[in-house]
Structure formats: C-alpha cells, structure tokens
Amino acid sequence: MNLLSLAIKNLQRRKTRTLLTIAGVAIAVAILFALLSFSAGYERQLNSEMENLGFNLLAVPKGCPYEATTLILHGGVIPKYLTNDDLARTRVTPGVAVAAPMLLQQVIKDGAPHIVYGIDPDAMIPLKPAWKVNGRFFNASETNVMVIGSTLAEKENLKPGSVIPFGPAQEAYTIVGVLNPTASEDDNFHFLPLADAQRLFKKEGLITAIAVKAEDVKDIPAIAAELEKVPDIQVVTMAQVTGTIMNLVGSARTLLFSVIVIAIVISAAGITNTLLMSVNERTREIGMMKAIGASGSHIALLLLAETVIITALGGILGIAAALAGSGIIEAFVRGIVPYAPPGSFVSFDPVLVAGCLAFSVGLGLLCGLYPALKSARLSPMEAIRGEWE
Amino acid sequence: MSMIEATGICKTYRRGSEDVCALRGVDLAIEPGEFVSIVGPSGAGKTALMNILGCLDTPTSGTLTIDGVQVTGKKEAELVKIRRDHVGFVFQQFFLIPTLTVEENIGLPLIFSAKPYDTSKINAILSRVGLSHRAGHLPSELSGGEMQRVAIGRALVNNPRILLADEPTGNLDSVTANGIYTVFEELHRQGLTLIVVTHNMELAKRAGRVITIRDGCVDRACGHQLP
C-alpha cells in the first residue's frame, strides 16, 4: 500500500459522489476537446480546401461581396455576371498562367437543388491535378455531355454511359465520366462544357467567375491590381476568402468558447466542492493520520492525488466521449456555422489530447490546492477535534 | 533516565474571549516499561496532558523530554518525526479507515514513514493483537473490541517505545474492555511503556501506577502504587 492506493480507496468511500465529479470533469473536457479539435480541424480543412482549389485569385463581378464569393466556391449562384471579354482581358494580364471561366447555375431535381458548373476543360483540368475521371472528360466544343462528382453519382445511381433528362428543357444528357472522390464540394456537382452550359441556361457569353492561377505567387498582388482596372471585375484572393470565412464563423466560435468557459467553471466548482466535503468529513481522520506520523505534506499529497485521479479519469473519459461522439458534435457544429468545409473536424490529435489531459489535471490541482493546503496546515489537535472551519 | 519527563507543564486554551487553563504546572516522570493509568473527573485535563505527552499539542509553558529528546520548542516537522518514531496512539473512536482492510489499517503508518511496507511485520502484529483471522476484513465487519485491537496494532507497527491510549475502552462493554486491557498487559510484559487514560477505576488499577489529574494538576494525595 502507498499514498496512491490510499487515495484510490478514499475515493471509493462515496462512489456516487466520486462518479458524479468524474462525470462533471468528463463533460467539461469533452466540450473543451471537441471545440478545440473543431476549431483546429475547421481551419485545417478550410486551408486544405483552399489549397485544393488550385487557383490563387477569383475574378468576380464588381459589387460581389466576399461573402458571396465564398458561396461561389460552394456552388452558390449569384445574379451578376462577367463576360467573355473580361475573360479575354484576364488571360492577357501579365503573370496569369491560367484563367478558367466558370458559369454557375442551379437546377431543381426531385425538389433538391443541383449545382451545375459550366467549365472550360482545357483551362480547368490543369488547375485540378487531383481530378481523376472514371470514363472520360468532355472537350470544350461538345454538347449534351457532362461529368459528375462521385457523391452525386452514388446518390443518383449514375455511371459513365447513363443518360438523364437535364436542364430547363429536360434535354437528354450523357454522363461521359464520373470524378473519383476528391473529398471536396466537387463531389456533388455537375460539370458541363462552358459553351453548352451557357446555351442550356440561356446565358450566352456570360461567366459567373474566373479562377486565376498566377505563374508565381509573388505576382498575385500585381495581377490583382491589374485586374481591378477592368471595370466589371472585382478580385478576391483566396487569403481574403479564408479570412472572410473565419470572420463569419468567428461569432459562432465565440459562442462555443463561452460554452467551454461555463463548463469549466461548473466543473471546477464541482471538484472543489467534492474535495471540501470529503476533507470536512475526514477532518478527525486526518488528525489521526497526523498522530500516527503523517506530515502536512503527506496529507496534501494524499488529497492532491485524489483530485488528480478524479480529473485524469474525467479527462480520459471526456476525450474518449468526444471522439466517440464526434459525428454528433460535427453535425451540431455544421448546423450552426455558416460555412463548413468538407472532411472531418474532430480527429485524434495527440498534442490536443495531451493538452486537454494536462489541462484537466492542472484544473484538478488548482481546485485541490486550497483544501490540500488547509488540511496540511491543520494542527493534529484541531483535526482530531474536527475543527475544520 | 525517564522515558517521559514533564516539568511544570501548563496549557492554556483561548475559548472566545476567555482563557481556559487546562494544565497548571504538571510534573511527571514515567520510567521505561512502566504501565501508567491516568484518571480524573471530566474536564480535569487528562486528554490535554495526553496530547502534550504525545506531541499532538504543545505546552504553553514547561518542558517535556521523551526518550531523552527535549521536545518543547521543536517545530511541527520535528514533532512529526517524534510521533512517528517514538509514540503510538490509540483513540477512543478507533479512527479506522473504512475502505482499508484490517491489515491495511495496521500498515497505514508505514506509508508515512521511510520504512518499507513490510507485510510480514504486519502479520506479526496481527498475531500480537489476536486478529490474524481477520486480516482481510473491513472495519465494518468487526466488533468494537476487534476495531480497537486494530487501532492498537496500527499504533505498534512503527515499533514505538511508548503507547498512549486516550479512553481506549470508552466505547466498549466491560468484557471487551477487559480484553483490551489484557492486550495492554501483554504489551507491558514485552517492555512497552504504556500510558492509558480511563474513567474506569477497576481497569486503571491493572496498571502499575495510577496518576490522578484534578483541576489541571497531578493529585499527589490520590497516587496509587501497586505492590
């Protein structure tokens, strides 16, 4: 037997109270871990999505706010357009390696919105090295053909060769290829040749946005400045888009962190209350231990060991619960933040796990310090007489 | 050299705005291997004296020497060592830890000392207090007398030279109390110095010497010496 086993046995005296305290710590740590994990995961996934976009700038119609630009990236349809002339001017801007035009439209099928991208395959495919197609890609001049994302193909049970009625006039379109999963929003879209999409939606000569890849990232500010001179064009860099999205989720994040703080304060009060009650009940016993040779530091160590056991167990359970329930947490978070990139936010990050455990134990030590020091300083006489207060 | 030598011990407690004098100049010498009973009416100062003799409390004035070590004026850290290495304590309320077995309760002082947790030593003590068959039991499974035997065993595990017992039979019936005194007599025969506070004069007379405390002083007129 040693101090640690004595601490464990002490905690077994009031099992319900100990378990409730552990549960309180577990809830606080689960919230802390899930939200920190979400926060890190969100930024990671967002940056990953921006990197996967394959371009550095987006030329959008003037007056299109950043918020609307972020929607374009997820297939949002805006009512303003650029023209083929704007595309031509963009392509001749010094430093521009690729300028890929996009026309975004939406069709409703079986009550659900479907996003349609009209693209120039010769310009877009070099921007998307991750795109691998099952079947083939269309060429720019083809009509009534499309490539679709993998999630969409699975949902609609479509494969290369399938023919579907599509567009306002329900024309027959042949699926010539299905993209392999990209873990991005592309998995949900229909891709059509740009000219065919312009014809289908009666938007001849119109473009929603132009994705621009610079020959060198150092040229991005110069390209942006040059493109801003075009009367119709507003330039949005991907850094601006990321910043805008982070601002959008900022308020949601503030709310989530408020929840963390409240959970931690409640948990800390619970731990302190448990320890104070426990010490108060055992004051005479502490006196006995001092009488048989325990020093003040033995008593303090014993109580701190008890609190560390509670908080370490609570921390482990909380992290396990957060990982096990990450699906529910993500669904909840996705429901309240305005822009959620694809991919999992909550993941097993050893640094975060260690950090949350250390926080949990640190919280326990902090909460246990007052009862531990007070008990350690009690004189054996006071303790034997039960004079805690 | 006496095992315990107290000279002019006074103890004054502050209760609210009033000073209460519990001990008024107690002089006492207890020899090695002596079995002493301390008796006296309630509030006479018996427990105050025991607490000072066991280094649980410090005198307001006077000097105390235990086993040749001057203890008055020592700091709490040094008193801890004296309590641990020289003195064993038995209380009226047993103070056993309910989640520890008999064996673990007896071994409890070892975890506060530098000595190893020696189960053979604990088994020997279990045998000395007649509880070998109860080693794995919890206190809730024991009778009052057995619980007090566990407390005696716990007081002995660090091999003290002095055993102090404050009303050890106060919560026990007369048969069980007799049994506890039989254990004390056996320990006395083995050479331990015993000081036992009791209200029971019959039991007190089983000690080699009875010291009566009255109004915070040793009542010399009441001294009782067995032949």
Q: What is the pLDDT of residues A96-141, one digit of tens each?
A: 988 999 998 888 888 888 889 999 999 888 888 878 999 999 999 9
Q: Which residues of B touch A285 (CB under 8 A)?
A: 95, 97
Q: How far is B150 from chain A (nearest CA, A)?
A: 13
Specify the pTM.
Answer: 0.68
With an 8 Å Cβ cutoff, are B112 and A292 in contact? yes
Interchain CB contacts (distance < 8 Å): A and B? 77
Nearest to B111 among A2, A287, A288 (CB): A2
Q: Domain boundaries in chain B?
A: 34-57+81-225
3-state secondary structure A247-285: HHHHHHHHHHHHHHHHHHHHHHHHHHHHHHHHHHHCHHH
Q: Touching check for A15 and chain B: CB below 8 Å?
A: no
Q: How far is A184 from chain B (nearest CA, A)?
A: 57
pLDDT tens string A132-169? 999 999 999 999 999 999 999 999 899 999 999 988 88
With an 8 Å Cβ cutoff, are A295 and B112 in contact? yes
Q: For position A154, what pLDDT does the model report?
A: 92
pLDDT tens string B89-130? 898 888 899 989 999 999 999 988 878 888 888 999 998 888
Q: How far from B206 is each of B186, B196, B227, CA to CA, in Å?
A: 12, 11, 11
Say if CB B205 and CB B224 are below 8 A apart.
Answer: yes
DSSP lists the bridge partners of residue A232 as none
What type of residue is B24? R
Q: For position B32, what pLDDT does the model report?
A: 92
With an 8 Å Cβ cutoff, are A9 and B97 in contact? yes
Q: Touching check for A9 and chain B: CB below 8 Å?
A: yes
Q: Average of pLDDT values for B27-47?
A: 90
Q: How far is A380 from chain B (nearest CA, A)?
A: 6
Nearest to A293 among B76, B84, B107 (CB): B84
Q: For position A299, what pLDDT does the model report?
A: 92
pLDDT tens string B14-32? 888 888 888 988 899 999 9
For residue B59, what is the DSSP state?
Answer: -
Has residue B221 got a pLDDT over 50? no
Class of the CATH domain delimited by B34-57+81-225: alpha beta
Nearest to A298 among B98, B112, B155 (CB): B112
Is residue A302 helix, strand or coil?
Answer: helix
Is residue A37 helix, strand or coil?
Answer: helix
Has residue B226 got a pLDDT over 60? no
With an 8 Å Cβ cutoff, are B100 and A6 in contact? yes
Half-sphere exposure (Cβ direction) of A96: Cα atoms closer than 13 Å: 23
Q: Touching check for B54 and chain A: CB below 8 Å?
A: yes
Write out the DSSP string of B75-127. Answer: -HHHHHHHHHHHEEEE-TT----TTS-HHHHHHHHHHTSSS---HHHHHHHHH
* CB-CB neighbours of A157 under 10 Å: 7
With an 8 Å Cβ cutoff, are B56 and A294 in contact? no
The complex's ipTM? Answer: 0.87
With an 8 Å Cβ cutoff, are A285 and B155 in contact? no
Q: Which residues of chain A have pLDDT under 50?
A: none
Q: How far is B218 from chain A (nearest CA, A)?
A: 22
Nearest to B56 among A9, A284, A291 (CB): A291
Q: Touching check for B108 and chain A: CB below 8 Å?
A: yes
- Which residue is listed with tokens 């020497």? B65
Cα dihedral A368, A374, A377, A381, rounded to 10, equals -120
